Amino acid sequence: MTSLLERYQRIAPFYDLLDYPFEAGRYRAIRPLLFAGLSGRVLDAGVGTGRNIPFYPPDAEMVGIDQSPAMLARAKRRRDELGARAELRQMDVRQLAFPDAHFDAAVATFLFCVLPEEMQVPALRELARVVKPGGPIRILEYTRPTGAARSLSARLWSPWMN
């Protein structure tokens, strides 16, 4: 079995294309809600290819992290194309290189659903550690689709994810 990092290094060039049916059908409408009302220093944990970047609050100091250099390269291209301000860094969400209470808020989209179960609690603890007490941590996840078209799309993902 390949590691999580190896999987995302391999699928990075195709990620946005494979994810398009889900993004266009549902996620694009939800993403702005994740960032509504956030300000100050905000962490985007598991920034991936940067799908959240168009929705970053203009007055926030955004920092996006991801473990995969290939995914980060795509996020950097998206950030630069949009002219967005965001620091992007390679980092493991279970060992964040930030001091305690460094961020006012954190957002994670489709991160915990791909982490193995044994990695989820350490990652959540790290987010809680780096966000100021009482600061929001907003998480958007998915479960396996049940509709015919979305189930087919999910099956297309399968060879890439193993």
- How far apart CA 156 and CA 162 sit, in angstroms, is 12
For the cut 80, the answer to whether the pLDDT of residue 139 exceeds it is yes
Which domains are assigned to the chain? Answer: 4-156 (3.40.50.150)
Q: What pLDDT sits at residue 111?
A: 86
Between 126 and 28, the higher pLDDT residue = 126
To the nearest whole number, what is the mean pLDDT of the chain?
84
Q: What pLDDT sits at residue 23?
A: 64
The DSSP string of 73-110 is: HHHHHHHHHHT---EEEE--TTS--S-TT-BSEEEEES
- How far apart CA 127 and CA 27 sit, in angstroms, is 22
Rounded to the nearest 10°, the torsion over CA 11, 8, 121, 154 is 10
For the cut 60, the answer to whether the pLDDT of residue 1 exceeds it is no
Q: What pLDDT sits at residue 52?
A: 92
Instruction: Residue 106: name the closest of 152, 158, 61 by CA.
Output: 61
- Count how many Cα atoms sit within 13 Å of the Cα of residue 94 in the half-sphere of its side chain: 9
- How far apart CA 116 and CA 4 sit, in angstroms, is 9
Give the confidence band of 157 by pLDDT, cuts at 50, 70, 90. Answer: low
125 token code pair = 């603890």
Give the confidence band of 154 by pLDDT, cuts at 50, 70, 90. Answer: low
Mean pLDDT over 119-128 rounds to 95
94 with 126: CB under 8 angstroms? yes
Instruction: Residue 22: name the closest of 161, 149, 160 by CA.
Output: 149
Between 26 and 112, the higher pLDDT residue = 112
Mean pLDDT over 126-142 rounds to 94
For the cut 50, the answer to whether the pLDDT of residue 152 exceeds it is yes
